[in-house]
Structure 1
């Protein structure tokens, strides 16, 4: 394949990537993304504990979220487009809190408080969307119910502040019940995004992990989708889940295969519909 940067002449968005200004590559990873033709990023805050913060009250979430906003500002400075923060509470926190002695209900309330803090960041301007979800592993019923309550609270707050929600959940394909919960709380289904989506996802807008197999499956399924790497910026796991070069490389492959319509849908039209962003107007 030719140099991806030479193939690409429009926006290229990675819909879900982490940057770690404390322990990771941070802006160096962004430069690698841009060198291959990447232009725009949605940067998700890493779990609070991975940045050295054990939360006990809602205000404890602020510093990790501020760190992500600072990393996003640094990323924007080296991108031909820009980056946006997507902020919230990692759903696995509930297990960590329960292990520390919180009841599921107390953990739920603390995590809802964290969602409220993230909604402030959206309302005040720096953040684009809210991150929430539920554990991707088996938990007891009380923890599951508490997690669903946190997720529904995120839908409520997103509807209030006028933003989308990115979901971290278990695997599967049918999440129509989840989007029904969102709509019941005033958030349209098209503003709910399933991070790490399988190619046949129903309900939320799929954010598909950018492997050729997943992309081909998503194209066959026929629903509009976005692309992501879920790069976690962990020096102990370099390149996990996928490296920052991946979305530009896969986008160049789509262009070479003649799928210009899919490229425009993934990097321009769907982000506009879901997040209200203009990846063309923000491209130098």
Structure 2
């Protein structure tokens, strides 16, 4: 049974949908029933969709499957669903540790995959790119290769005139990455730190929906987004947050009197970062 409509767009900035092995569109229906209107759907890591990449075009299978489920999600929502495409930074460990690829070759393959993702952005099939670096300990060679991949993703974002979502280590200061973006012609505010806490210097934070984090960021006046990082993995059913979380947290923020913060996260910041209008794309 649906809850009463929220008088605002409600955007989950980062989640995954697996139409084959996960909940897929049922997760979208849960999101909508609770008042959700808009989604940014990030492709799952390639190997989670059964794709072991050997060349850049292998990523197309991942991206095309993501576009298919996003189109179906878009039909279910009162707003819109948009795809965010890229190469998960953890792929480098899979290539180096499990397939014994040298880090520079892994770097080249991942950069080529990002180049394919940028094609989808340039032709209007995707909204933004996703890149990053491992959030766990790696060798210096892997770290250097990963940062080269990240910088390449920022360059592609500048060339395609799109936002870039980051998967990185936990940090309150990523000004170095924001500076790399600016050097390449991508404004720092169009770089989004996925899985962010309430305090972040540099990129725009996409804040995980813990109440204490949301309350903290809502008390300020800086741009922010909200996300669940729903992984849609049947082997990890309780991992991260479920698809109902963002609309529930929006309802709670409104009850607590944070109307301005809700507008900031679901109308103003999406427009600033992605160039999307969550009000104009919302139908009754």
Q: Does 1:81 align with 2:71?
A: no
CA–CA distance in structure 1, aligned partners of residues 146 and 106 of structure 2: 9
CA–CA distance in structure 2, aligned partners of residues 269 and 157 of structure 1: 24
Change (3 A) 1:7 1:257: farther
Match of 2:52 in 1: 54
Match of 1:160 in 2: 159
Q: CA deviation at 1:222?
A: 4.0
Q: Deviations over 1:91-113 (max 9, x none)?
A: 00000000211110000000000
CA–CA distance in structure 1, aligned partners of residues 127 and 31 of structure 2: 20
TM value normalised by structure 2: 0.97
Q: CA deviation at 1:219?
A: 2.6
Q: Does 1:217 align with 2:255?
A: no
Match of 2:207 in 1: 208
TM superposition outliers: structure 1 runs of 4+ over 3 Å: none
Match of 1:37 in 2: 35
Q: How does 1:123-134 map to 2 (within 5 A)?
A: 123-134=122-133
Contact 1:225 1:270 in 2 (8 A): yes
Q: Which moved more, 1:162-171 or 1:209-218?
A: 209-218
Q: CA deviation at 1:42?
A: 0.2
Contact 1:19 1:233 in 2 (8 A): yes
C-alpha RMSD of matched pairs (Å): 1.2
Q: How does 1:175-194 map to 2 (within 5 A)?
A: 175-194=174-193
Query: Which runs of 5 or more structure 1 residues have no equivalent in the other structure?
Result: none
Q: How does 1:1-284 map to 2 (within 5 A)?
A: 5-6=3-4, 8-99=6-97, 100-220=99-219, 222-284=221-283
Query: Which runs of 5 or more structure 2 residues have no equivalent in the other structure?
Result: none
Secondary structure of residue in 2 paired with 1:223: coil
CA–CA distance in structure 1, aligned partners of residues 170 and 56 of structure 2: 29
Q: CA deviation at 1:263?
A: 0.5
Q: Deviations over 1:102-125 (max 9, x none)?
A: 110000000000000000010111
TM value normalised by structure 1: 0.97
CA–CA distance in structure 2, aligned partners of residues 115 and 48 of structure 1: 12
